Structure 1
């Protein structure tokens, strides 16, 4: 299951049933969970912690040192959860002194040529389409979908169950449950189709839409909109997720609807 044409450092911890194809290089201080497949011409640098039953396609580079001039060679990690697929030529940089770790969750799909920079945190069940470039310190919450060829500015946060249109320039935070499109990136409605596919009821989706009417369709500033939401709409985990996301945003959130 492990090609003799690959180089595996003797200190690397390789789980049962791992398949490693020819011409792959695995360095020291690497852990690979059982049942994972690693294609040819993959390079896995020190600090990689890869889960079970992952698929890593040819040309991927995992846990290279960050492209950050402040990096001083500190020992940091890349952690990848179970059942995650990493397609051709994806690059994932390990962390810096800031968070120590770059994290990719379980059941994710990173399509070809995606770059995930240092200290990013990507949740579970996330889909990142071809050629998306994610700068350092970005947070992508569970179930988010990012369209191909998008570029995400450092320190941006992408909320859970959101969907970002292909080719987007993401300079501001994208709140949960939303669709984001246009230039500059703006609110394009609630991700209703995605929410239905994941079992959200029509009542819950309608409630989320009510929250965003206050935020993005009523010409209120964010502080006033949040006050109106808390006064006029019942407390639910979805409402509170949105309110807390907006309140904690450091970069500010994307614009409201633009004709």
Structure 2
């Protein structure tokens, strides 16, 4: 169930009216819906309200909204137990992405907004505990979607940054992979390090324009995924 907007007359704000409205709607939704969601123009002052209600941020727009001039944030409140795990995994993925994005991908944001995002990232990752072990599986899915042309580079780069980082000793088997070739590794690392300065990255890769940069990155990710898939299949065959 999607909540389009929560608005309270200025004369009645700070009196718990919005919280009461939300709690009433949540009771109504119980048994009929599995989750509540809402999207809004992100500001540092708006996120604590939703968090106080039990909702978690699960996505942040990478493009500025034409109407508000801000980035849209999506929050989800799982009101059914079947949705709780998915909600937490999405929030954990966003927390990890924010660690990579902040602050260089958000040049228009005020310091208070950046600090709010970084605060959520730090606190949620530290409280997630064992759930962080599932992040790698999300990363592989994200990179596959990027290779298939379903996602922009900005959404895939945080996953790529984690893929290229050294794996901890207790990584799950799905994350074991063959290292990229030196040339392929150089392309992937350059993209992670230089983005979102697409002009500098184009010079580094010897191409021109954002589309060419995304194409080069997409081809590099696709090549790595293909080699990873082959090595994984080979490992399974040897086990059999």
Q: Normalising by structure 1, what TM-score?
A: 0.25
More strand by share: 1
Q: Normalising by structure 2, what TM-score?
A: 0.27
